[in-house]
Structure 1
Amino acid sequence: MSEAFDCAKCSESLYGRKYIQTDDGPYCVPCYDNTFANTCAECQQLIGHDSRELFYEDRHFHEGCFRCCRCQRSLADEPFTCQDSELLCNDCYCSAFSSQCSACGETVMPGSRKLEYGGQTWHEHCFLCSGCEQPLGSRSFVPDKGAHYCVPCYENKFAPRCARCSKTLTQGGVTYRDQPWHRECLVCTGCQTPLAGQQFTSREDDPYCVTCFGELFAPKCSSCKRPITGLGGGKYVSFEDRHWHHSCFSCARCSTSLVGQGFVPDGDQVLCQGCSQAGP
């Protein structure tokens, strides 16, 4: 009588049948699959011992069940991505979750270096200055009507230029004759004293401080000999080719102010009518 050779699970004879040997003894194929096989996460069927089994994140799949949840392409030998527990081939993932580069129109692949601004996305190498066409990368930039400029290009293209040195004004500055100037460029034509924030005047478009203008161009008071600039509301009196400050226009004898009064010229002097009638 032959020795018993039975399945360790169902105890049925294995003579003449296919079986699988384990450390616990031999198993017929159905019992082996029911005892040891994993369940496919996709179709929920057992993955038989003779099937190719794929494993991903604690889940088991038949080879034919391991496919993109959108296009059903097999992922057995393809790169893929898992999104919210769903398996996606790279094409479907890019179509669903990636953005298009605003410059070249190509897909910005997941994990690639990119830049985002104003709801748009660029490949890092496609985000260029509209002026010099160099990559902006992490540098500061200035948006303008759909274009993007690095700071030097923007200043060179749009920033106002100083009327004297023609260089751009990046901050501050003053306005003279409706033109922008660097504060340090607006100086007196005579003595080079800075004029920003100071009272000054001009001659033939050249700016002068009050002192230089008075010394160079202003008429001199016939009494005190100082310049009459008329700046700051200063008033003066003119008679023939002579000029006086209001405060200096007085009778040479009694010092009475002659502003708005009748007077009599007496050589280089002016006299009030009373002193003129009194004689020498």
Structure 2
Amino acid sequence: MTENFDCDNCKDSLFGKKYVLWEESPFCVTCYESLYSNTCEECKKPIGCNCRDLSYKDRHWHEECFHCFKCQCPLVDKPFSTKDEDLLCTECYSNEYSSRCYECKKTIMPGSRKMEHKGNSWHETCFTCHRCQQPIGTKSFIPKDEFNYCVPCYEKQFAMQCVHCNKPIISGGVTYHEQPWHKDCFLCTGCKQQLSGQRFTSRDDFAYCLNCFCNLYTKKCASCTSPISGMGGSKYISFEERQWHNDCFNCTKVRRVPDWPRLPDREGQYPVPRLRQRHLRRAESTNQHSRNTNKPLLLINKYATAVNHVLFFFKRLTFWFFAKLQC
């Protein structure tokens, strides 16, 4: 007894007929194409078992339907591109959508390497340094006046040269006496410390930090022997070819300028203790004398006391004046 060999879908006998084995089940060609075959993107018909199925991104075509959308040329075994889900041959895509080289004005073919900068495109071999004409490729470059330069050529042609080392200044730098310097080259002539970002001065066109300049060239105070810089508007005093800081110019005996003499206040108080004691003793003697005299003499004593005060004031004023001269 023979075993039945029928289509799994329509149950027709498959003896002597073509069939397709799908997941270990036999199907006649008609049932297989209607159930499992892919549909062509171009003609919308099923791709049968006798046809070559071409696929791209989960889309399928008959071999004769796989052609360029523009020129209709076959794309089987040829490079192609897509635009808005349409298949295009390389030539049509280049003519319609590819960018043109900024240098040679020719089309940049799909799949070829290109360089882009500020919205412009170049062939890799056309993107060259304007000075040496060597391809830049993926190396660093610097644009200048609509031209591109490799870094060495740009430094040679445009970068400023340091006065000290004669090498190009790529970034930053210091300008001194209208001449460019590297920050690392602009140093104090004395201690070789960097002067960039700090106060400095110069002598004979050489730059010095403030400490070195004061120690080497400024005058010394006759009292403390420290340099007198005069920086920041600080004052100093010069006398008989010697100089002093303003705070160091004091009397060598009392170390201060004598005070201005003042009259006693209403309570008879003086700023100096000796003067106060002298006034009290004089007042006591005057009061004792007034008790032993008559009233007319009291008026005379009052005027005499006032005169004594005036004379005492002028005496102290004279003393202060001579003290000033001695200092």
TM range (shorter): 0.5 to 0.7
Query: Any idea what the Cα deviations from partners look like across 1:64-115, whole Å, max 9, x if unmatched?
Result: 0111111112110311111233211001211222112222222212x3x422
Q: Aligned equivalents of 1:64 and 1:44: distance in 2? A: 13
Match status 1:118 vs 2:181: no
Q: In the alignment, is the contact (CA less than 8 A) between 1:8 and 1:24 conserved in 2?
A: no
Match status 1:95 vs 2:156: yes
Q: Aligned equivalents of 1:123 and 1:15: distance in 2? A: 62
Match status 1:14 vs 2:77: no
**1:1-280 alignment to 2 at 5 Å?**
3=64, 6-11=67-72, 13-14=73-74, 18-22=78-82, 23-109=84-170, 111=171, 113-171=172-230, 172-194=235-257
C-alpha deviation, 1:6, in angstroms: 4.2
C-alpha deviation, 1:49, in angstroms: 2.2
* Other structure's SS at 1:149 match: strand
* Other structure's SS at 1:92 match: helix
Give the aligned residue type for 1:58: G
Distance 1:183 1:18, change over 3 A: closer
Q: Aligned equivalents of 2:77 and 2:122: distance in 1? A: 28
* Other structure's SS at 2:116 match: strand
Q: In the alignment, is the contact (CA less than 8 A) between 1:52 and 1:62 conserved in 2?
A: yes
The alignment covers a number of residue pairs equal to: 196
Q: Which moved more, 1:23-32 or 1:163-172?
A: 23-32
Q: What stretches of structure 1 of length at least 5 have no aligned partner?
A: 196-225, 233-280
C-alpha deviation, 1:30, in angstroms: 2.0
What is aligned with 1:268? none
Q: Aligned equivalents of 1:85 and 1:140: distance in 2? A: 40
TM-score, normalization by structure 1 = 0.61
* Other structure's SS at 1:143 match: strand
* Other structure's SS at 1:126 match: coil
Q: Aligned equivalents of 2:184 and 2:147: distance in 1? A: 31
C-alpha deviation, 1:145, in angstroms: 1.9
Q: Aligned equivalents of 2:200 and 2:161: distance in 1? A: 21
Structure whose residues are more often helix by fraction:
2
Larger radius of gyration: 2
* Other structure's SS at 2:125 match: helix
Q: In the alignment, is the contact (CA less than 8 A) between 2:161 and 2:167 conserved in 1?
A: yes
Q: In the alignment, is the contact (CA less than 8 A) between 2:81 and 2:93 conserved in 1?
A: no
What is aligned with 2:25? none
What is aligned with 2:266? none
Distance 1:140 1:15, change over 3 A: closer
Q: What stretches of structure 2 of length at least 5 have no aligned partner?
A: 1-62, 259-317
Show structure 1 runs of 4+ deviating over 6 A.
Answer: none
Q: Aligned equivalents of 1:21 and 1:168: distance in 2? A: 82
